Amino acid sequence: MIGVALIIGLLTTLAALGGAFMNLNFMLAGTVSTNPILYTAAILMIIAGKNAGFFRLDTYVIPYIEKRFNKIRI
């Protein structure tokens, strides 16, 4: 699901954070392979966050979520 979210641009920052967390777990388990490179890519995607691209679903989903949660009074 994280890969699909990154491809279609849905909640990009959250998906990149989840991918980085899973990759960190693989690195801590002792698997070396390409995990450090992929972890670095995930961190760069988290930093890019809002500027991840123009054609993405975040453009439509994030304003809807913000409008929906701003109506809730605590």
Closest listed residue to residue 19, CA positions, set 59, 40, 48: 40
Q: Which domain holds residue 53?
A: 2-70
Total domains, the chain:
1
* pLDDT tens, residue by residue, 37-64: 888 888 888 887 767 666 788 888 888 8
pTM: 0.70
* pLDDT tens, residue by residue, 10-25: 888 888 889 889 888 8
